[in-house]
Amino acid sequence: METPVLVLLIFLTAKVLIELWLTSLNLGEGKKRRGEIPEAFKDVIQREDYEKSIDYMGAKARLGMISEILDGVIMVVLALGGLAWIFAQFSSVLPVGLGWDALLILCVMLVLSLPGLPLEWWGQFRLEEKFGFNKSTVGLWVSDKFKGLILMIVLGWPPLLGLLWVFESFPESWWIWGWGLFFGFQLVMMVLYPMVILPLFNKLEPLEEGELKKSLMGLADRAGFAAQTIQVIDGSKRSTHSNAYFTGFGKFRRIVLYDTLIEHLKPRELMAVLAHEIGHYKKGHVPQMLGVSAVISLGGFWFINWLITERWVVELFGFDVFGDGRVDCLPALLLFMIFSGVFIFWLGPIMNFWSRKNEFEADAFAKDAMEESQSLIGALRGLHAKNLSNLVPHPAYSFFHYSHPTLLERESALNSDAEKSHS
Ligand SMILES: [Zn+2]
């Protein structure tokens, strides 16, 4: 077997093995600690809920392992010529031309999204259902999928077409222009997503006038965040999981609270959650995150360009398409889209480490803004209990996979007096 294919298969195998190993560590940890609630949570969580949270983790872990193995097998088949074969099937029926070439890529991506659907369905209507989270219906799920498909075409086709055009027009420097195009598209999507796309799936409404809104807006003012509006999303339409998040930038920034969150938390706890979200904004986490993703994606475009110039690599994966009238970069683009995750996976722990640091900073900011830490602690406990979050992950698992610190870590940081939030 030639080196590039071998390297890919080695990285792929390593990824699958690491994932399975981490998940089994996590399963073992849960099994070991299911009998006894950790000291710090004795007064916080009911025994029944604690056990249920570990069973929920276990059920998700087992489904995750099946999905990991299935994905791994599919990736091997794709690497050994499967991807080139699917490409050839569409290539033989679609006319030649920039617009059709862009559509060809979308068709291949669509076919590759099909094998994951049964497990996704199982996850929503068996697993989530069993633990009482599912609020979706088969009709809603199917309509979500159709809307997703149409969105993928409407939003995916124009930038792909743009990319192919840039490639044809500037064969030498295309990857820098292409990256600019890609990054600009990402910025536009950050603004459009909550305004245009989210409303296709959910209802977003401004938080209704009243005591709650007054105190939340007051807090935003004191924290130096001139909020134009706080929006409430009907997350309860699909699931009872709750969340809050912050999206956009500059004038387009907005805070979105799940209706389930408002239902479950006390007003001061909600204020603390809002303060945490404002903390992300004030500490510049969004632009930092964008900066890092810009650098990573520039590296990605450079690599695609390398793949395009080294045709022999692309041919090793079974593509035999040069001179068929299509844009030359299609196989390289597809290979990158399908397999780059195998390598980007290894950046995960670093990105998560950094994300956890940002979470601590946002927590510290919230503590300052609230002038006490108990409200945020109350909110975090409530969220963890409601979402049946695993309180006892294996340290190796949480180090690798957790974008947020564990509840225990956040509480001890909030309780420590040596808080270093004034920076
Ligand atoms: Zn956060």
Express each pLDDT in 366-423 by its tens digit.
999 999 999 999 999 988 888 888 999 999 999 999 999 999 999 999 998 654 444 4
Q: Can you give the length of the chain in residues?
A: 423
- For residue 245, give every residue at least 6 positions away whose Cβ sits within 8 Å of its Cβ, in sequence order, or none: 255, 256, 277
pLDDT of residue 407: 92
pLDDT of residue 192: 84
pLDDT of residue 392: 92
Token pair 């805070």: residue? 255
Torsion sign, CA atoms 236, 239, 243, 246: negative
Contact between 175 and 305 (Cβ < 8 Å): yes
Tokens of 23: 């998940």
Residue 208 alpha carbon to ligand 1 centre in Å:
24
pLDDT of residue 249: 66
Q: Which of 104-113, 117-126, 191-200 has the lowest mean pLDDT?
A: 191-200
Please state, in angstroms and rounded to a whole number, the distance separating the CA atoms of residues 267 and 211: 9
List for the chain the helix, strand, coil content (%; round to 5). Answer: 75, 5, 20
- Report, as residue numbers or ranges, the catalytic residues: 277, 363
Residue 354 alpha carbon to ligand 1 centre in Å:
12
Tokens of 353: 């480490």
* 3-state secondary structure at position 230: strand
Residue 351 alpha carbon to ligand 1 centre in Å:
14
Token pair 């959650």: residue? 273
Whole-prediction pTM: 0.86
Whether residue 272 has pLDDT greater than 90: yes
User: Among 137, 134, 136, which residue's Cα sits nearest to residue 56?
Assistant: 134
Instruction: Please give the C-alpha separations between residue 86 and each of 12, 248, 322, in angstroms, as whole numbers.
Output: 20, 37, 16
Residue pLDDT, tens place only, 277-305: 899 989 999 889 889 999 999 999 999 99
Residue 220 alpha carbon to ligand 1 centre in Å:
16
Contact between 125 and 134 (Cβ < 8 Å): yes
Residue type, 340: S
Residue 186 alpha carbon to ligand 1 centre in Å:
21
Whether residue 311 has pLDDT greater than 70: yes
Mean pLDDT, residues 80-107? 95
Residue pLDDT, tens place only, 122-159: 999 999 999 988 988 999 999 999 999 999 999 999 99
Whether residue 363 has pLDDT greater than 60: yes
Torsion sign, CA atoms 7, 13, 19, 25: negative
Residue-wise DSSP of 32-74: HHTTS--GGGTTTS-HHHHHHHHHHHHHHHHHHHHHHHHHHHH
| Average pLDDT score over the chain | 90
Contact between 257 and 231 (Cβ < 8 Å): yes
Contact between 112 and 339 (Cβ < 8 Å): no
Q: CB count, 10 Å around CB of 301?
A: 21
Residue 279 alpha carbon to ligand 1 centre in Å:
8
Tokens of 47: 């025994």
What 8-state DSSP symbol labels residue 208? P
Residue 280 alpha carbon to ligand 1 centre in Å:
7
Whether residue 239 has pLDDT greater than 80: no
- For residue 27, give every residue at least 6 positions away whose Cβ sits within 8 Å of its Cβ, in sequence order, or none: 57, 58, 61, 62
Residue 359 alpha carbon to ligand 1 centre in Å:
5
Residue 387 alpha carbon to ligand 1 centre in Å:
16
Mean pLDDT, residues 192-198? 83
Residue 418 alpha carbon to ligand 1 centre in Å:
21
pLDDT band at 246; cut points 50, 70, 90: low
Residue pLDDT, tens place only, 327-337: 889 999 999 99
Whether residue 193 has pLDDT greater than 50: yes
Residue type, 146: F
Residue 273 alpha carbon to ligand 1 centre in Å:
9
Residue 136 alpha carbon to ligand 1 centre in Å:
26
Please state, in angstroms and rounded to a whole number, the distance separating the CA atoms of residues 215 and 250: 23
Contact between 156 and 101 (Cβ < 8 Å): no
Please state, in angstroms and rounded to a whole number, the distance separating the CA atoms of residues 80 and 369: 56
Residue 362 alpha carbon to ligand 1 centre in Å:
6
Tokens of 290: 């964008």
Tokens of 377: 């602690």
